[in-house]
Amino acid sequence: MPNKKAAAKHMRQTRVRSQQNRSARSELRTLSRKVVNAAGAGKIEEAEASFKVAAKRLDQAASKNVIHKNAASRKKSRLAHAIVKAKKSAS
């Protein structure tokens, strides 16, 4: 238990921020899964639309320090590669 009022406030803030970050990371995983599943199923247009949304959310999360900027870049690169790979196998 905190001994000071400011420490109690910090605990409350941390609890709220942790929940927001957990929610944001969960959304990122869901969006990434949508891209990969659509690309794997050969639905290129759906995968590209999902990628656009996922890339935007990854950049937003990186700008708010939910994830590291290099991690966001790496995830976008891997998702884009999955779409390219799906395009090659479709043609």
Residue 28 has pLDDT above 80, yes or no: yes
Residue 91 has pLDDT above 80, yes or no: no
CATH of the domain at 29: 1.20.58.110
pLDDT category, 88, cuts 50, 70, 90? very high
Mean pLDDT computed over 15-29: 97
Report which of 53, 52, 58, 51 is spatially closest to residue 79, judged by C-alpha positions.
51
pLDDT value of residue 1: 87
Residue 63 has pLDDT above 90, yes or no: yes
Domain span at 12: 5-90
Count structural domains, the chain: 1
Mean pLDDT computed over 31-49: 96
The alpha carbon of residue 45 and the mean position of all alpha carbons in its chain are separated, in whole angstroms, by 20
Say what the pTM is.
Answer: 0.88
Q: With contact defined as beta carbons under 8 Å apart, do 48 and 90 qualify?
A: no
The alpha carbon of residue 86 and the mean position of all alpha carbons in its chain are separated, in whole angstroms, by 21
pLDDT value of residue 90: 82
